Each structure stands twice: as C-alpha cells, then as structure tokens.
Amino acid sequence: MSSSDTATDSALLGSIRSRLHRNLQPLFDESSRCLPILQSTCRHILNDMGPHASPAKLAQVISRDHGLTCKVLQVANCIAYSPQQTIVSVSHAVSWLGLDTVRSLVAAAHLVEQLQHWPIRQKEFQTLIAKSLISATCASELATAMDHPQPGQLFTATLLYSIGDLAIAYQDPDLFLALQTSARKTTRPEDALPDEIRLIGVPRLTLAQALAQMWKLPHDLVRLFGSPGELPQGRWQSDFQTYRGIILGSTRLVHVTMGAASLTAIGEAKKTLLLGSGLAQGLFGDVMIRAMDRGRQLVRSMGLALDTSDEAMVPSTEHDTIEPITPPPPNQTGRKQQSRAPHECAVPEDTPAAPIRMKPLETLQAFQDSLQEAKDLNSLLRTFATSLHRDAGFDRVGLSILNSNDSDLLIGRLVLGAAPLAPYLQAISGSLSREHQFFLTVLKRTDPLHIQDFSGLMAETIKPEFTEIWDPTSAILASLRVGVKPIGLVYCDRGVSRQPVGAQDYQVFQLFFLQTTLGLNRLAGIL
C-alpha cells in the first residue's frame, strides 16, 4: 500500500472516530475484544478463497475436522446441489461441488464459529449471518449465470459486506437492533441515512469502509463501502458496476424478501437485478430459485436457524409451482374408503381385480389420454395418483412434493386409500435431512424402488411418525422428476389388504410411472 493510501486511511479513521457513538469507538482500539475476532474472520475467509488452494489440500483440511466434514457432506448430498448422486467422501464432495463452493463452505463455517463470542442476542446474530450466506449464494449463482470469471470472489465479497453490521452488533447489540428497526421503515438505503447518523454518528457504510481499510480488505470491497446510493435501473456497464450491482443487488433482494417489505419493494429489487444482469427473465427466475434454495441448504448445514415465514421468497416458474392436490371424488377411485382411526387399516370387502389386469390395453390407453388432457403439473399428478389407486391395484397411494424454495422440505399433497387424511399427509411431510433420510435416498434414484420388507431398513432413516401411521410392510417408491430435478415422491402399497407388493406390481407401476415422467417433461417444455 502506498504512503498516499495509508494517509487516506488514517484521514478517514480520524474523521469519523470522534463522531462515533461512544460504544463504537473501541472498534478502532487494539484492546477491543471485537477487533481480533472479526479481523481474524476476515483474514480466514480471504485465505480460504485465495488462488493457491487445491482440491486435494482442501479435502485434507476438511477431513481433519469432523464437524466441517459433516457440513460439507450434508450440503453435497442435498437435492439443491446433488439431485442424482449420494456422496460419501470429502474428496468426492470437493470434486462434485467445485472449489468455489467448498471454499465458501469453509469460509462460512469460520464465520459461524464466531457466534460463540456473542452470547447475547444469538437470534439476531444468526439471522444476520444467515442473510449474509444466502446473499452470498445469490451473488455467486448470478455471477455464474453471467459468465463472470470469479463467482467465488463475489461470494466472498458479499459475505464480507455484512462485516460492519457484525461489528456494530458485537459492540452494542441494542444499537444494532435500533438500526435494524429503522431500516425496516425505509424503502431505499439512502432514506435510512439520517437515522444511521443519529444513532451511530456516521453513515453505517462509512464505518464499514473504515473497518475494511483498517483490516486491509480487498480494494474493490473498500471502494464498494464508499459508493452508497441506488443502483442504476439498467444494464451494468463497467466491471466495477457489475461487481457492485451483483453484491448490492443480491444483498438488498434477500433483505427485502426475508423482511416485512412490500411486494412493490421486492419487485423493484428483482427488477434491478434483472435489468442490470441482462439475463432473460425465465433464466433469471430459475437462477434466483436455485440460489435461494442452495442458500437455505448452506444455512441449514451451518446449524443456523432461519425464519420459515418467507417460503415464497422468489416467484416460481410455471413448472415449479405445485399447488395442494385435492383427491378425486370417492366415486372416481373405484374403491370404497372407510373412515377409521389414524393407525388402523380398513379391511376391504371383496374387491374386483384391478382394471390393468382385466383390460390392460384399454386401461393404459385411457391413462395416456388423461395425461394428454392435463394442462398443468397438478392435474397430471392427480391423474397419476388416481390411476395407481383405481386402475393399477394399489390400495394406498401417497404423493409428496418438494418445496421449490427449500428442497429440504417435503410436503404431503395427496393420499388415496387412507383416512383421515391429515395424519397420513403429515407423516409423509418433513425435512429430508433431519426426518426423512430414507426418502432422500429415494429422491436421488432415477428408477423406482421396490421395498419388499420395511423391517430391514435402519429405523433412524425413517420418520417414526411415518412408520406408526402408515405401518408399511412392502411398497414401491419413486422420485418424480422434471429433467434431472426431483420435484416430489410417490409411495404406493397394498397396505389395506396387507398383501405384499410383488414383481408383477412393480412392472405395472413402471408402465404408469414412465408415461407420467414423459408427461411431466412435456408440460415443462423439456420434451
């Protein structure tokens, strides 16, 4: 750094120190408890994202830390990052996820480790770090879609963009909360400046710039803190405008979508990113959905709690949106459903042979015609489930759908052949990583899975409520996919009659399943 740069740094520090709120002035003292913690965090993050890291070296570093190994493998195996593979080794995770993603995980883990130094206001710190991680993931995904040469650099810079807020929160949690409350009342960043100056003595970004200079953070990041104001409503032109646009745009989008902002404010934040990036609207929507999903999985792997009241963070594209699926009227199922307690199975009266066995060609043709008539995924999936229950001879059918904004969350949408519905739907809902690890392995498969005996499965991989309510003996499960992306799970058995699901049942299921997969991809525009 030149002498002129050093003089500029000293001038900035000197100009703001006397104006700062007295509780924040120790941020610039070497004796401050906050100083070594945050400075070490910044340096660790920058080192992890440096140009000299190699896959083998990074895998070795991760393997020596059991907690970090678990985090990396959890992210590598979530649907958002790995829709078709089960990854069991760190070296495989590094090669699959790529250096940028894994280095980002290591950097984020170091940031989260610092939570132990903030025993007060843990929830506020967790939320702040969670937002930073999701913002950083959005920036990285957007940069990748724009063919930016260093998407990992954008992740790092976006993650470090919150360093000033962390410093304020550490030094004076109540002051930080006051700033947050004030920010929620404004729609534009510059509108918050008067309250920032009133509360802390200087603009929040000016404090962050001074800290960034003192900690020798990258020049572009220091410059970014010194460039307040709105982003231009148009295509970004220069390299720095793109750098600034991606970081600020991603941070603001996550801030408004995870807060109590109006739909207008959320729409404006999306529009700024869309116009600035120059991406086509459909591609931009897909990128944001994937980014928010991956960001959530990253946050979850770090053990951070995240408010789930913001499930509709970004609009889904048409083929991602699956509404609750209502069961067909009873007279369309061809089977008499009996009302019973959640844990009981009805013993059916004499039931005629399934249509697929009596009239296979006519039944399949009628099924194909119904699929062709389906105008959206909801009606197509309803047709599939109904046909499995009515025509293929399966007593019980359950259908769960992945939340498009959080692919760790499985939501029960339709149950046929069991009542009352609520406990059965609840039993096939839940977190894949915490409750339904077995279902996660099924979702990774491209072919249907025939389970001949559920008692052979590890109990800890199955949600206890599912075992209790459904009481499965043998069944068929399959992942529903659009392209390579899983969107849901189907379960079917002969549980009412307590008959085992045999090889012939599996062949029948495949006939209906293959046609449904073709229909899903046709509606999604892939075929």
CA-wise closest residue to 488 among 389, 403, 424:
403
Structure tokens at 505: 């049942």
Q: Cα(130)–Cα(523) distance, rounded to whole angstroms?
A: 35
Predicted confidence pLDDT, tens digits, the chain (527 residues) = 444 455 555 677 778 888 888 888 888 877 676 666 677 777 767 765 555 667 788 888 888 888 889 988 988 899 998 888 888 899 999 888 887 778 778 877 877 777 776 666 677 778 888 899 999 999 999 999 999 988 888 988 898 898 888 888 888 888 888 988 888 777 677 778 888 899 999 999 999 999 888 888 889 999 999 887 788 889 999 999 999 999 999 999 998 888 766 788 889 999 999 999 999 999 999 999 999 999 998 888 888 866 544 333 333 433 344 555 655 555 444 444 433 444 444 444 455 678 888 899 999 999 999 999 998 999 999 999 999 999 999 999 999 999 988 999 999 999 999 999 999 999 999 999 989 999 999 999 999 999 998 888 887 889 999 999 999 999 999 999 998 899 999 999 998 777 899 999 999 999 999 999 999 999 988 75
Domain boundaries, the chain: 26-315, 320-523
3-state secondary structure 399-417: EEEEECCEEEEEEEEEEEC
Report the predicted TM-score, pTM, of the whole model to 2 decimal places. Answer: 0.81
Residues 6+ apart with CB under 8 A from 175: 21, 23, 24, 168, 199, 200
93 in Cβ contact with 102 (< 8 Å): yes
Q: Cα(44)–Cα(61) distance, rounded to whole angstroms?
A: 13
Torsion angle (degrees, nearest 10) of CA 172, 177, 183, 189: 30
pLDDT at 1: 46
- CA–chain centroid gap for 332, Å, is 37
Kindly give the pairing relationship between strand 406-416 and strand 430-431. Answer: antiparallel
Name beta bridge partners: 485.
482
Q: Cα(105)–Cα(444) distance, rounded to whole angstroms?
A: 22
pLDDT at 293: 92
Q: Is 118 helix (H, G, I), strand (E, B) or coil?
A: coil
pLDDT at 119: 63
Q: Considering the domain delimited by 26-315, tell me its CATH architecture.
A: Orthogonal Bundle (1.10)
Distances in whole angstroms, Cα of residue 256 to Cα of each of 26, 138, 159: 31, 14, 17
pLDDT at 65: 84
503 in Cβ contact with 512 (< 8 Å): no
Q: Cα(86)–Cα(80) distance, rounded to whole angstroms?
A: 13
CA-wise closest residue to 157 among 139, 143, 169, 130:
139
Residues 6+ apart with CB under 8 A from 423: 342, 465, 469
Q: Cα(284)–Cα(181) distance, rounded to whole angstroms?
A: 31
pLDDT at 53: 64
Q: Which CATH superfamily is domain 320-523 in?
A: GAF domain (3.30.450.40)
252 in Cβ contact with 159 (< 8 Å): no
pLDDT at 475: 95
